[in-house]
Amino acid sequence: MKPIRVYLSMLAISLIGANLTVASSPLPVSSSDNADRQAIEALLGNYTRCLTERDEAGFRALLLDEEIPFTSVQESTAPEKSADLRHYENFRQAVFGGSQRYRQTFYNVRIDQHGPLAQVSLNFLTEPVTRDGKSSKSLPGWKVLQLLKIGDRWKIASELYTFEG
């Protein structure tokens, strides 16, 4: 009976060691070539341009579709396990449906990409713009975008964001 326990212990130790080996050598993350990186940066530039210019059709063209996960996540309104995160329509109404204009800028942008999948995390600053083109109070936040390369174009497959403060 003792040799079986020793064998099982050795097996468990070797499996734990194998898991540590696998965990310490992940796939390369930022394997993007220059063309993909430029295309992703162009998508981000178009994002802020469309939002500022209220170009709803241009913004919609950046999305994989209008049913993607797209929502604000706050501690007080953290979604339940089965919550529906497809709230693009709420964003669309707020940004393109009313009379208020916004300007959004991105900073601390990090792009991780492997093949046709990319993740962008960034800080943003949303500023309501007055009729005379001046901005009022700024609202900082952070967002994560998941991107898919469809053919030769990158599309936003999800966006989750939170506001600071």
| Cα dist from 12 to 6, 16, 123, whole Å | 10, 6, 43
| pLDDT tens-digit series, residues 146-159 | 999 999 999 999 99
CATH class held by domain 30-163: alpha beta
- Residue at token pair 């901005």: 135
Query: What is the largest distance, in Å, between two alpha-carbon atoms of the chain?
Result: 85
What are the residue ranges spanned by the domains of the chain? Answer: 30-163
Full 3-state SS string of 30-73: CCCCHHHHHHHHHHHHHHHHHHHHCCHHHHHHHECCCCCCEEEC
| pLDDT tens-digit series, residues 68-101 | 888 888 765 555 655 667 767 877 777 778 888 8
Least confident of 2-6, 107-111, 121-125: 2-6
pLDDT higher for 90 or 40?
A: 40
